């Protein structure tokens, strides 16, 4: 153990912060050799609107809203003030048996805005916890209804639902080498994909085949063993494919037919990201459980939630002596609830959901102009949640490997030009809902320039 430094040390330089980050901070998903050798990370000091500023004073457009989080934009002093006021008044009570005024107010405001009869809210600290909670609620509800063998969960290929153990078990990109075996009873079905449909079908027909496959899987597993089906309304991890409303309506019919609970994971989709407050509104479907996080506070405080329908909570009202076998220390934290309330107030005062719809339509049309590039196979999205699919060949639709030199070079150029976002085989474009039209134009220009330069560098590897 080193000698303890002063709580308020001497001023640090930008390189000092980088060195101390490398020494002490476990940056979650980073490759450490790349961090040390290439400085594959940045230390940020402040932000405003859609702009991030690092310790060197360099400005970047936040093209991913952090991680689809900062929907109301950076630098909202009134959210910070609401949090400070609540912390001074009351920061914490046990969520096991009690609650707080802002938590009650938030649950009420959410119930007013959630689709259908999603009226009961279980709070937690983030998206993975929300999914973990939804799994446990679904399984316990099925058991309390008299179906103890209903433990299986059906998820979708290419899905992402979080990184806690149960949530990671639903995530198909889970790391079997380090963490398997995973939670027993998870099965995968095809996900809507109009660019590479698993059945070779196009449009709505392909979507409906994916939905009907869920029924086949339920029958194969035996309906008496299936607890729930889970999916994002629009899956970001699987490439931002927007299905027909009939897809979700068919899933609703199937789940009702077999007594299976339908879970919509709105952790990324929710709070205006798709041009509706909740993406479920696009599809005319009310799920049995809905997970939320990220945009619920726009990242100003950690918070997540699971909303359930009256019909789901009813069993706990009937069996009053049986509590949910689950709790989380920081669920419904008073300061986070205060942040969420102020966040909702800003959303409505500034019409951010409508802004997302209008700006998203503008962004999508601008991004479609990039289809002239030989490496842009498809452009799609809804609201301010868009994706650009990168290919080696438009004819074969061969993907660029996520860790390929082409992808890394493209990401580096975009960063150097002042845009931060996720560049995999999909370039995700999801800026804060407060993004300006000028910033949207700048985002498209940066991607266009970076693609041209990178395509020139790797011309020999591009098939078309």
DSSP secondary structure letter of residue 260: P
Q: How many CB atoms lie within 10 A of CB 81?
A: 12
Give the Cα separation of 105 and 109 in Å (integer). Answer: 6
In tens, the pLDDT along 290-348 reads: 999 999 999 999 999 999 999 999 999 999 999 999 989 999 999 999 999 999 999 99
**Given a cut of 70, is residue 39 above it in pLDDT?**
no
- Ordered by where they begin, the domains of the chain are 43-75+352-461 (3.90.1150.10), 77-350 (3.40.640.10)
CB contact at 8 A, 442 and 361: no
Residue 110 exposure: Cα atoms within 13 Å on the Cβ side: 33
In tens, the pLDDT along 375-384 reads: 999 999 999 9
DSSP secondary structure letter of residue 49: B
**Given a cut of 90, is residue 387 above it in pLDDT?**
yes
Give the pTM. Answer: 0.95
Give the Cα separation of 349 and 357 in Å (integer). Answer: 16
- Tell me the pLDDT band of 17, cut-offs 50, 70 and 90: confident
**Given a cut of 70, is residue 233 above it in pLDDT?**
yes
What's the mean pLDDT in 43-52? Answer: 96
User: Which candidate, 389, 356, 369, places its Cα nearest to that of 282?
Assistant: 356
Q: What is the pLDDT of residue 290?
A: 98
- Tell me the pLDDT band of 463, cut-offs 50, 70 and 90: confident
Give the distance from CA 392 to its chain's centroid.
27
**65 phi-psi bin (left φ>0, alpha ψ -120 to 50, beta other):** left
**Given a cut of 80, is residue 174 above it in pLDDT?**
no
Using CA of residue 197, residue 203, residue 205, residue 209, what is the dihedral sign?
positive
In tens, the pLDDT along 112-139 reads: 999 999 999 999 999 999 999 999 999 9
Q: What is the pLDDT of residue 411?
A: 95
């Amino acid at each position: 153990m080193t000698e303890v430094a002063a709580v308020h040390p001497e001023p640090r330089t930008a390189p000092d912060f980088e060195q101390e980050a490398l020494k002490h901070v476990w940056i979650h998903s980073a490759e450490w050799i790349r961090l040390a050798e290439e400085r594959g990370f940045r230390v940020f000091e402040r932000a405003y609107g859609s702009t991030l500023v690092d310790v060197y004073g360099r400005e970047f457009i936040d093209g991913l809203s952090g991680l689809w989080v900062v929907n109301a934009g950076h630098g909202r002093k009134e959210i910070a003030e609401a949090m400070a006021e609540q912390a001074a008044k009351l920061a914490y009570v046990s969520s096991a048996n009690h609650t707080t005024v802002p938590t009650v107010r938030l649950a009420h405001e959410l119930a007013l805005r959630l689709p259908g009869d999603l009226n009961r809210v279980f709070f937690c600290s983030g998206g993975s916890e929300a999914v973990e909670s939804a799994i446990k609620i679904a399984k316990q509800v099925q058991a309390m209804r008299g179906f103890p063998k209903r433990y299986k969960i059906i998820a979708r290929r290419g899905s992402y639902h979080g990184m806690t153990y149960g949530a990671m078990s639903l995530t198909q990109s889970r790391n079997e080498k380090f963490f398997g075996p995973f939670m027993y009873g998870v099965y995968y079905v095809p996900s809507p994909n109009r660019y590479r449909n698993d059945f070779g079908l196009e449009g709505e027909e392909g979507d409906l085949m994916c939905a009907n496959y869920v029924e086949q899987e339920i029958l194969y597993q035996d309906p008496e063993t299936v607890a729930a089906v889970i999916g994002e309304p629009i899956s970001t991890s699987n490439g931002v494919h927007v299905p027909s409303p009939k897809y979700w309506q068919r899933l609703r019919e199937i789940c009702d037919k077999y007594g299976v609970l339908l879970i919509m994971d709105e952790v990324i989709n929710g709070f205006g990201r798709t041009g509706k407050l909740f993406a479920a509104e696009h599809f005319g479907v009310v799920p049995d459980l809905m997970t939320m996080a990220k945009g619920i506070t726009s990242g100003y405080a950690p918070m997540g939630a699971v909303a359930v329908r009256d019909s789901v909570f009813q069993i706990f009202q009937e069996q009053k002596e049986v509590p949910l076998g689950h709790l989380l220390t920081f669920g419904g934290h008073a300061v986070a609830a205060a942040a969420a309330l102020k966040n909702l107030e800003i959303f409505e005062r500034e019409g951010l959901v409508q802004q997302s719809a209008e700006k998203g339509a503008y962004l999508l049309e601008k991004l479609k102009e990039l289809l002239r590039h030989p490496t842009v196979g498809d452009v799609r999205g809804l609201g301010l949640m868009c994706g650009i699919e990168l290919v080696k060949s438009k004819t074969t639709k061969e993907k660029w490997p996520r860790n390929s030199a082409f992808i890394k070079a493209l990401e580096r150029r975009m960063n150097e030009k002042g845009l931060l976002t996720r560049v995999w085989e999909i370039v995700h474009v999801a800026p804060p809902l407060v993004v300006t039209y000028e910033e949207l134009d700048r985002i498209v220009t940066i991607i266009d320039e970076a693609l041209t330069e990178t395509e020139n560098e790797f011309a020999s590897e591009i098939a078309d």
